[in-house]
Structure 1
Amino acid sequence: MGRVRVVRHSGLRRRAARRRVLWGGGEALVTVGAVLLLLVVHQMWWTNREARAGAEREVRALERSWDGGGGEGGGEPRTGVPAASDPPASGAASGRSAGGARRPAAAPAPDWSKAYAILTVPRLNLRVPVAEGISRSGVLNKGYVGHYPGTQQPGQAGNFALAGHRNTHGEPFRYINRLEPKDTIRVETRSATYTYAVDRTLRQTAARDSGVILPIPRSTVRPDHGYDEPGYYLTLTTCTPEYTSKYRLVVWGKLVSMRPR
């Protein structure tokens, strides 16, 4: 006769306990994975959806306001020097339109909670509001493009400098790396439409590189990138590489025309 195997109850209990621990650990991992997936979906899809919808509503509100239809559109900011008084720099666009009209004077100071201009980039099929300031919660996370305080306003001599998210929250500047020389960028305000032409791109610089938004923009980190003479500049900045904020990508343009509304 064969021997009868004796199973100790203590061994069964230990194995059952191990199975419960493994099962519980597996459930916890699945739960954590599901939560992380939801967070990714929220950050990568929902914030884009909400920000884009809000930005589109703001663009329509600005257009209604400028057309005399009311709405919540903001005014046009002032930096203390009317645009009409800025002398054109060498190689910059003239202070008059093709019809000889003077560039309009700046309007009252902006409502900091609202957009005051519309940025249009045909190559990227982009049309987005411009608001004062570059705070995340107040401007950038709304899907807006933010104007660097202290830099010039559209059409003024110097540097009209803007920042925008490259990923999440509408990501308006996600594809500005695709812009090429002579691509047009329009900035519409209550009083005029300013057209800039892309001129140069700085593919990567340090986040601390404040030289790129100076009145005569030139990188302090990579001084071979930038300008030496006064002009009418536009600067677009965003984070790079994608999904990080370690460096900055910079696109520069020059004013080529102004059309009063």
Structure 2
Amino acid sequence: MRIYVGVCGFKKKYYTGKIRCVEIQRTFYNIPQVKTVRKWREEAPSDFIFNIKVFQGLTHVASSPTWRRYTKKLSAKEKGLVGNLKVNELTKTWIDTYAEFSRILDARVLVVQTPAKFAPTQENVNHAEKFFEYFVDVIDKYGSNAWIGWEPRGKWLEKPQLIEKIVGNVDRVIHIVDPLIHEPIVVESVAYFRLHGKPYLNYKYLYEKEDLETILDKVKKLCKKADTVYLMFNNVYMDKNAEELIEMIR
């Protein structure tokens, strides 16, 4: 098992530091230009690992506060098309764009984080099944080797059978969790974890040495089938905690 430790954030200083694995967050709020994405890959060391958080237009409805950071403006028609993993004329263009980004960056995982308001209704189950099947097909079309990681929140965490139904039936889709809080329903050859602090989503939490040891121990037990594991810190002290865990693994 190969474990990569990284952060949910991207700074070019990482190119020369201990942290060699990132999840780009700015791609969630806005869609960068292709030339910008190419520049990230060209400037990075060849062994530097990129993961991408997909655009909020695929996951979050127009009323979500996350849209306040969107630098453009949705039309009235577009507002009815975004979010909830819907596949339509608008979201298909974004899926194409992010499949291309994943190819350019040689991204390992495309992170799809759905909000708690995306409830486990039958309609949303149908949306999710169609969305992930379509996204994987598009990724293949673009020649990308990326996996898709889904981090559902809210009531989904009480419905493991629904997560298994969706993730288990589509190749190259994995279930993302915070390993100190939840366990992945399905573990494939690739596993991806996001660490949000304790208690759950307490981003100001600083992980202590004992926490890091627990994380490693738990992940090794959960991921016996996995060849590759990504541990991504998403807390205020993510740089410090990632560097500490990297040293522990060495």
* TM-score, length basis structure 1: 0.24
Name the one with the larger strand percent: 1
Structure in which a larger fraction of residues adopt helix: 2
* Larger of the two Rg values belongs to structure: 1
TM-score where L is the length of structure 2: 0.25
